[in-house]
Amino acid sequence: MERVIVNDVSPRDGLQNEPAAVPSAARIGLVNALVEAGVPAVEVASFVSPRAVPKMAGADEVAAGLDLNRADFRALVPNRKGYERARAAGMRSVAVVLAATETMNVQNINMSLDQAVQVCAEVLQQARHDGLAARAYVAVAFECPFEGAVADGEVERLAAAMFAAGAEEVVVADTIGGGNPRRAKELFGRLAAAFGPMRLAAHLHDTRALALANAWQAVECGIRKFDASAGGLGGCPFAPGAAGNLATEDLVSLLQQAGFHTGIDLAALLGVVRHIETLVGRPVGGRSLPWLQRQHGTHNGCGE
């Protein structure tokens, strides 16, 4: 049975845009619950200025509260300062974020596109020198909220720059959920042909209810690494219109029904989704949640 790696980003991308801040201790508990459900990789925090993203304050505390040998724990770093904080906290896997357009880089990290390429390259090179795993996101790869559709050739150019700088993996991110299955097939097919599918991952948002369809197109193109967020939490505070991520439970259900192995216990994952509801104070869950609850004899926190 072929394996697909799922990286759950709910403790970072999921919680960063929630109205209420979740304390570090509760975020640690969420990470551990995901690992107990069999999730092999978790993005635990963003080492960003708390002034820029207040919900990610305490990233150092989160890292200190985890057994970093327990799973593939990952951190987002916006610049060299964030990288040094993550390394000092003991993180062994970091990722930089490079937006595919000028305006999004300015809005997200207050840099031009050229400056962002340079900073990301420097962080990747330093991470590799220090022996850390290093990944790069190409954000708004399908569509930018400020500049509109992004050309596939530009995404390929930026991915090539990140690989050249030392990225082990490039994550193609549909940050505002602007993709569709036809575009997904074209873009992932092009990038897989250029770089090999095993060096790529997909990060998809469900703004237009197409994240799962786009994920399947990526699978068909050979992609075997995906970001997803338990309960479908997520959204970028700097990208207007960015809705929640592809729900981990939806993705795992799709993959398992299609004959792929993820190592994730769906029943346990549904328990994590119910736990997230207590953290954020509202119902959450992917599109398949009612069906999955019936299959596994569970119900959500609202008694539905």
pLDDT at 17: 85
Collect the ranges in the chain with pLDDT lower than 70: 235-243, 298-304
pLDDT at 236: 61
What sections of 137-283 are H helices per DSSP?
152-165, 181-195, 211-220, 248-257, 266-280
pLDDT at 300: 46
**Set 120, 144, 221, 236: catalytic member:** 236
Tokens 């074209």 correspond to 186
**Cα(103)–Cα(90) distance, rounded to whole angstroms?**
33
pLDDT at 302: 40
pLDDT at 242: 58
- Assess contact for 5 and 39: CB atoms under 8 A: no
Query: Is the overall model pTM greater than 0.85, yes or no?
Result: yes
- Assess contact for 228 and 188: CB atoms under 8 A: no
Pairing of strands 200-204, 169-174: parallel
Q: Is 236 a catalytic residue?
A: yes
pLDDT at 52: 86
pLDDT at 20: 85
- Give CA angle at 99 (55, 231), nearest 5°: 45
How is 170-200 classified by DSSP, letter by letter? EEEEETTS---HHHHHHHHHHHHHHH-GGGE
Comparing CA positions, the residue from 184, 65, 144, 285 lying closest to residue 302 is 285
Residues with Cβ within 8 Å of residue 49, at least 6 apart in sequence: none
The structural domains of the chain, ordered by start, are 5-296 (3.20.20.70)
- Which tokens hold the place of 74? 């990952």
- Predicted confidence (pLDDT) per residue in 115-173, tens digit: 999 999 999 999 999 999 999 999 999 999 999 999 999 999 999 999 999 999 999 99
pLDDT at 234: 86
